[in-house]
Amino acid sequence: MQRLKSLLIWFWRIASRPSAHLSLGFLALGGFVCGVLFWGAFNTALEVTNTEKFCTSCHEMRNNVFQELQHTPHFTNRSGVRASCPDCHVPHNWTDKIARKMQASKEVWGKIFGTIDTRQKFQDHRLELAKHEWARLKANDSLECRNCHSSVAMDFTKQTRRAADIHGKFLVTGDKTCIDCHKGIAHELPDMTGIEPGWRTPPEMRDRQSFRDNPRDELARYLAATGAER
Amino acid sequence: MRGQDHFGLMRFRSSIAGALLGGMLVFVGGAIYAQNAPQIVPRVTGAAAPMGDVPAPPVARPIVDDKRLMRNYPEQPPIIPHSIENYQLTLKANRCLDCHRRQFTEGSGAPMISVTHFMDRNGQVLADVTPRRYFCTACHVQQTDAQPLVPSTFKDMLLVGPEKK
């Protein structure tokens, strides 16, 4: 500890004094060039982690989610536009991207300790993992979907009547966001028992059917109301 | 005696030759007929050489007009008048029931799965879809614009049988 302190003091003495041998121009320009090099390297490394090749270099991704992606329209479709992993799972905006990358350091932990290193383990964690992504897309109003699909650019007359109706009712009004209904479009779904379809009104906003969510409370209230008179 | 014997052998020989000739005629005639006979059963495999490569016909488009069609007989499972492409129907998720389940039909406007889907094999009505009716596509199918390979001769039961007076 004492040694560390003395080291810090030594560094501060050097850093706080004006340079005796090197010119100001050298230091400024050198600093600038080093900054450019550092930033370039940082950004390149960041972009490398943002490729499908990098994502599928882990067998957890390659053998599970990447296989499932390959038979969905986001992989092959009539117009030949392909969405790869980062298109949907990493925000394009810089600050959001850095925030997501920092979150993703948890995934390094999972990789090291083999949290999902078998198919069975992956299936066991699937609901939790899916819920994270649903929550993320819900919170940013399906930003990654909207990087390509915009409700303004949608021609409802080209959709089937059912799709146009539903989009008009939920998407245009802003009631719901893409991920509410379009879950599991690029991967297999987890066990969906008890997860209601996204177009449904949340339980707390329902009036008629709310009794179904806590039938015991309803019954208790009824008994309290009638039992009091007895 | 000798001549008689010879004559008898000759007759035997000629009858053998006649039978052989007849057999040959039938065989050749049959072969020629088989080559040129009209094919009674239309080929459903599509390929003349079943192991050979044949160009695949274009994939048929699903019919998506959302129109409920008449059933051809009372027990017919209703057909699906919309596309079910990429619908996940597994033990874990059932995309069909996201709209057709009883408690969701009010919001979705989809027809409710019929009451028979709630019955177990003893006819006991359960609260939710029974396991034996869970996999929708076992009975209900999507329609496409593909032409049938073999024309159907199905007739509605009401249209066959003796005329009512």
The domain ranges of chain B are 1-41, 59-146
DSSP symbol at A81: -
- Cα of B108 to nearest chain A Cα, Å: 8
Q: What is the pLDDT of residue B10?
A: 59
**What residue type is assigned to position A41 of the chain?**
A
Q: What is the pLDDT of residue A212?
A: 53
Q: What gap in Å lies between CA A168 and CA A45, rounded to an integer?
A: 42
- pLDDT at B81 exceeding the cut of 80: yes
Number of inter-chain CB pairs under 8 A, A vs B: 40
DSSP symbol at A158: G
Confidence of residue B37 (pLDDT cuts 50, 70, 90): low
Confirm if A189 and B88 have CB atoms less than 8 A apart.
yes
Confidence of residue B71 (pLDDT cuts 50, 70, 90): very high
Angle (nearest 5°) at CA B157 between B151 and B159: 85
Q: What is the pLDDT of residue B5?
A: 52
Report the pLDDT averaged over residues A154-182. Answer: 90
Nearest CA in chain B to A185: B86
- CB within 8 Å of chain B, chain A residues 4-43: none
Q: Which residues of A touch B104 (CB under 8 A)?
A: 196-197, 200
- Minimum-distance CB partner of A192 among B82, B92, B99: B92
- pLDDT at B141 exceeding the cut of 90: yes
Nearest CA in chain B to A190: B92
Is A70 near chain B, with CB under 8 Å? no
Residue B55 has which token pair? 């160009």
End-to-end CA distance of chain B, in Å?
83
Nearest CA in chain B to A212: B103
Confidence of residue B42 (pLDDT cuts 50, 70, 90): low
Contact (CB<8Å) B82/A160: yes
The domain ranges of chain A are 30-192
> Over the stretch A94-150, which tens digit does the pLDDT of each residue have?
888 999 999 888 889 999 999 999 999 999 999 999 999 999 999 999 999 998 999
Report the pLDDT averaged over residues B140-146. Answer: 92
What CATH number does domain B59-146 carry, 2.170.150.70, 1.20.1730.10, 3.90.79.10, 1.10.1130.10? 1.10.1130.10
> Over the stretch A36-75, which tens digit does the pLDDT of each residue have?
999 999 999 999 999 999 999 999 999 999 999 998 999 9
Identify the residue among A169, A176, A192 best suited for mutation to test binding to B, counting B beta carbons within 10 A and taking the highest: A192
What is the overall mean pLDDT for chain B?
83
Q: What is the pLDDT of residue B3?
A: 47
Contact (CB<8Å) A160/B104: no
**What residue type is assigned to position A44 of the chain?**
T
Nearest CA in chain B to A123: B92
Q: What is the pLDDT of residue A211?
A: 45
Any idea which architecture A30-192 has in CATH? Orthogonal Bundle (1.10)
Which residue is it, tokens 């008994």?
A223
Is A201 near chain B, with CB under 8 Å? yes
This prediction's pTM: 0.72
Per-position DSSP letters for B56-115, written without gaps between them: PPPPPPBP---PPPPPSSTTPPPPB-S--TT--BSSS-BTTHHHHSGGGHHHH-PPPPPG
Contact (CB<8Å) B88/A197: no
